[in-house]
A and B are shown apart, each in its own frame.
Chain A
Amino acid sequence: MSELKTFEEIEIGEEFDPVEYHLTTEMILKQAEAVEDYNPWYRQNSPFGNSIALPTVTCRDYLPLLLGWRYAFAGIGILAKHEVELLNPARPDSRITVRGKVADKYVRRGRPYIVIECCSVDENGREITRNKHTVMLVEFGIAKGGKEA
């Protein structure tokens, strides 16, 4: 716990260690089941050829980035805003690499927020999504840094 960062120590532009994972058919179908989305494109052929993943499958990729970041363990993040650009469909059995950085931080109504930008790319270098997540940090009690919004 002694290595936890404070909000003040977070630097805008600070990059996370990249994360790689194997996007499996099972992961895609679990997401489809969890949101009760029975579109056949995720199970059979799609207009893109073979089956594809739900377009939002990489929208949670900021979470593994945070898990590898020391600050993530100092409190709880509550998602306040989300932006996404869907660039290409992800395919089952692809290798996804996620890169991201702290795009901004600020304090609003006494609450600290960080903005995380990340991009998910497949093994062919095709960008799948670009995401921006604004996360409100709770329980830090040290919200002195950043700019007042």
Chain B
Amino acid sequence: MAWASKQMKPGYDIPPLHKGIMTQAKMEAYSRLEGEVSIHTDEELAKKVGLPGTVAAGMMLVDYLSQMLTNFFGTGWIQGGKCAVSFILPVRPGDDITARGVVREKLSEGAATRLILDVWCENQRGEKVTAGTASGLVY
């Protein structure tokens, strides 16, 4: 299942994950996991804090990145993965989201190799809505 290999060099684009159009229904399904009325579900509340309307939960985008990284690293993401991201732009209903990553560096870690990646989610305009670094282990 996993794509990652020790032979991969910096600059390698990992297989992206196209998550498709964000909808209010998707945002509400995710927000139900959190169990709260929030800026992800309540238009009025979102506008009250200066947002243009409801926005997707940041953790939803982390889930998208994690799904891409599970596909790429397999077990080396689930046990040993690290990720640090900033939430740059709000994701609104109608945005078309794709998770992407590129290998930046590799380090030896015991018998394994840790591949360090730049990762981000982008919208249909190619704008990064979430960006940071992630790494996983390759055995």
Cα A85 to Cα B47 in complex, Å, equals 33
Instruction: Tell me how many residues of A have a C-beta within 8 Å of chain B.
Output: 33
Within A34-54, the residues touching B (CB, 8 Å) are 34-37, 39, 47-48, 52, 54
When the two chains form their complex, are residues A86 and B82 in contact, meaning their CB atoms are under 8 A apart? yes
**Chain B contact residues, CB within 8 Å of chain A:** 19, 26, 29-30, 32-34, 36, 38-39, 45, 48-50, 57-60, 62-64, 66-67, 70, 74-75, 77-87, 132
The answer, among B36, B38, B77, B87, for a CB contact under 8 Å with A55, is B77
Contacts A31-B63, A80-B87, A81-B85 given: A86-B80 contact, CB under 8 Å?
yes
Chain B residues whose C-beta falls within 8 Å of the C-beta of A86 in the assembled complex: 77-83
Q: Least Cβ distance of A147 to chain B in Å?
A: 19
Contact digits for A76-94, partner B, Cβ 8 Å, 1 yes 0 no? 1011111111111100000
Q: Does A60 contact B (CB under 8 A)?
A: yes
When the two chains form their complex, are residues A30 and B63 in contact, meaning their CB atoms are under 8 A apart? no
Cα A34 to Cα B30 in complex, Å, equals 5
**Chain A contact residues, CB within 8 Å of chain B:** 27, 30-31, 33-37, 39, 47-48, 52, 54-56, 59-60, 63, 76, 78-89, 138-139
Known: A79-B59, A84-B62. 7 other contacts (CB 8 A): A27-B33, A37-B67, A56-B63, A82-B62, A84-B84, A86-B77, A86-B81
Chain B residues whose C-beta falls within 8 Å of the C-beta of A60 in the assembled complex: 33-34, 59
When the two chains form their complex, are residues B83 and A35 in contact, meaning their CB atoms are under 8 A apart? no
